[in-house]
Structure 1
Amino acid sequence: MSNSKNPIVKKGLQLFNFLKKTYQAWDSTDPFARSAIIAYYTLFSLPSLLMIITSIASYFVGAEAVQGRIHTEIERFISKDVALAIEDMIGNVTLENDNWITLIISIAALIYGATGVFFQMKITMNLIWNVTEKKQNFKRMLINRAIAFGMVLVLGFMLLVAFVVTLGLNLLTEYLGQYAPEITIVFAEILRLLISFIFITGLFAAMFKILPDVIMSYRTTFLGASITAVLFLIGESLLGYYFTSSNPASVYGGAASIVLILLWVNYTCLILFFGAQITVQYALIKRHKIIPNKHAKLAHSDEMAALNEKKKKLDQDRRNALRLLNNPEEAPKKKKS
């Protein structure tokens, strides 16, 4: 049997071609520059973003519990020093003021800062999905900021859900640990990994569904989010090993925490954008319906319309030339001087 007829080889070639096409599409969007831009915005958005998220979740479970959860997650993803630095950032952001005008301005600045990173991410997502906004004015800018703020609220809600689920998991493992401690440890680790996967998949699904100006099926959204979550978890492990073994920010001294935040967000965005490109390429192969919403259009629709008009004009000129060639008497006669 030849290799071309071998189903395993055929599937392997299809997967290779799919990944090759995905990489080429991913590389064409200049992901490194766009990830750096989002990392820059994240650095300035982080205090406001975390304060809003903390405030939402703290309303239900208490500020100390939420801040402890954030500290644990950041320490797990990046490092203990970065977790402490971010905890200080949250503590330094305050809205206490007797002047209500100043308070309103502070809240507006807080929301504007918190939505900056998602606003920039929305621009990149539209580029990946090959759509552009029909109108770019002040009203549309406010709508985009509102959409970005919606992602902030989603983050706060998901943090609350994750906190409640983790609390329930801890209670369950403590109970089961009384009867089978060794099995319980393995069970708890598997369950935590599963919860992390579900949480991250839900977050990416929300980003794919809310941020880009496209309409796509939930099937496509969750499939792409699941693949991106797997890539993220693998990348998280590799980044954790890289940060621990090589300590890339050690040469920056007091600015090491800032550098680590920038590096982590930069690498994470690269993974996110690649996952988004996988979603787009898979949807194209499977012919899943993805169309721009009412506020957007295909990125090259104006150019295509101009090309079609030019083609129509060329076709008309060609027909006129053929008609004059076959009927020379119809050609306009020159006036005698």
Structure 2
Amino acid sequence: MKMPAQATPRLLFYAKEVWILTRDTLSSWSEDRASTLGAALAFYTIFSLAPILIIIVAVVGFFLGQLSVQSYIMGELAKSLGQENAEYVMQTIRSSYQAGSGLKATLVAVLLMLVGATTVCVMLKDALNTIWKAAPRSAGIWYMLLDRIRSLLIVVFGGVFLFLSMVIGSLVSMTGLYLTNYIHIPFYLLGWLNYIFSFLLLVLLFALLFKVMPDVEISWGDVWIGGAITALLFTLGRFLLGLYMARSTVSSAYGAAGSLVVILLWVYYCAQIIFLGVEFTRVWAKRYGSDIASKPRKVQQKAV
């Protein structure tokens, strides 16, 4: 069956646009030195991972119970890092719970935990600002404090995201069980339904991240497109990373530090996937969308 004559130029046009988007995205990724930004982010994540997970477990565990939340996180980490490396992360969290005794030690531990949890968010924001070519903001104490508060809210939102994932996953499982038993819908459709909900949550997460975190104004239409592409890249990349980590000898090659190296590699590769999504969003916005305008820097005028 021959393709209509009018369809051929249209297909060529779309193929050309896809090529231009891909080329410009990879070119911008290289020019912005995203590999270096990812290495810095992976380094800071090592020190922030345990505090972030502790806050998330505390927030979500208040509603669903800490043991169930820890089990869920353990399962998700095991899919990407492997059982042994996931257990290493969870053991770090348990050790942090037992680290302090007494009021002063507890206060110091809480302060260090908050600083550690927000540091990686600040670094991620700096990386996004570098990619978006955002105008520099004031470096005063007040803006630094606002950045930390905003970063803490992002960590808490991560807990809300995990809460939604667990609740929706449970609802999908119960609904699927009912449909399978009483309406005789094929069981494999339940898995696809779960994947769809998880994917939509990822799209929401990345869209909000791209909209709120960098110091640029960008339309919702652009961040939804970017969030969808990033979620697709992240889902595929996480699957491939899981296969690689399950068969990799990196952990055994580095001995006692093997789990630490695996986590560094995993965060680094995930950061590259996210940065590719950000670069795509920027290229899309400049070519088809609203373009990007840096938020004006706030300047305090002295009274004369």
TM-score, length-scaled by structure 1: 0.82
Residue number among 42, 45, 48 corresponding to 2:48 in the alignment: 45
Amino acid at match of 2:171: G
Superimposed CA distance per residue, residues 94-140 of structure 1 (whole angstroms, 9 cap, x where no aligned partner): 376432x4433322211100111111110010011111323112222
Residue number among 189, 193, 196 corresponding to 1:194 in the alignment: 196
Superimposed CA distance per residue, residues 298-317 of structure 1 (whole angstroms, 9 cap, x where no aligned partner): xxxxxxxxxxxxxxxxxxxx
Is the contact between residue 48 and residue 120 of structure 2 (CA under 8 Å) also seen in structure 1? yes
Residue number among 241, 252, 255 corresponding to 2:254 in the alignment: 252
Match of 1:271 in 2: 273
Work out the CA distance in 2 between the residues paired with 1:30 and 1:223.
23
Amino acid at match of 2:282: V
Identical columns (%): 27
Map 1:64-103; keep pairs closer than 5 Å: 64-94=67-97, 97-99=101-103, 101-103=104-106
Residue number among 174, 186, 199 corresponding to 1:183 in the alignment: 186
Amino acid at match of 1:254: A
Q: Unaligned regions of 5+ residues in structure 1, if any? A: 298-337
2:134 corresponds to 1:137: no
| Count of equivalent residues | 294
Stretch deviating more after TM superposition (90-99 or 28-37): 90-99
Work out the CA distance in 2 between the residues paired with 1:230 and 1:48.
28
Q: 1:219 offset after TM fit, Å?
A: 1.5
Secondary structure (helix, strand or coil) at the match of 2:138 reads: coil
Work out the CA distance in 2 between the residues paired with 1:287 and 1:6.
23
Amino acid at match of 1:226: A
Q: Unaligned regions of 5+ residues in structure 2, if any? A: 300-304
Q: 1:19 offset after TM fit, Å?
A: 1.1
Match of 2:302 in 1: none
Superimposed CA distance per residue, residues 246-302 of structure 1 (whole angstroms, 9 cap, x where no aligned partner): 3333311222211111111100100100100110110001240432224479xxxxx
Match of 2:151 in 1: 148
Work out the CA distance in 2 between the residues paired with 1:199 and 1:16.
28
Work out the CA distance in 1 between the residues paired with 2:219 and 2:29.
22
Match of 1:159 in 2: 162
Match of 2:205 in 1: 203
CA 61–44 in structure 1, closer or farther in 2 if over 3 Å, else same: same
2:203 corresponds to 1:218: no
Work out the CA distance in 2 between the residues paired with 1:260 and 1:182.
40
Q: 1:50 offset after TM fit, Å?
A: 0.3
CA 221–260 in structure 1, closer or farther in 2 if over 3 Å, else same: same
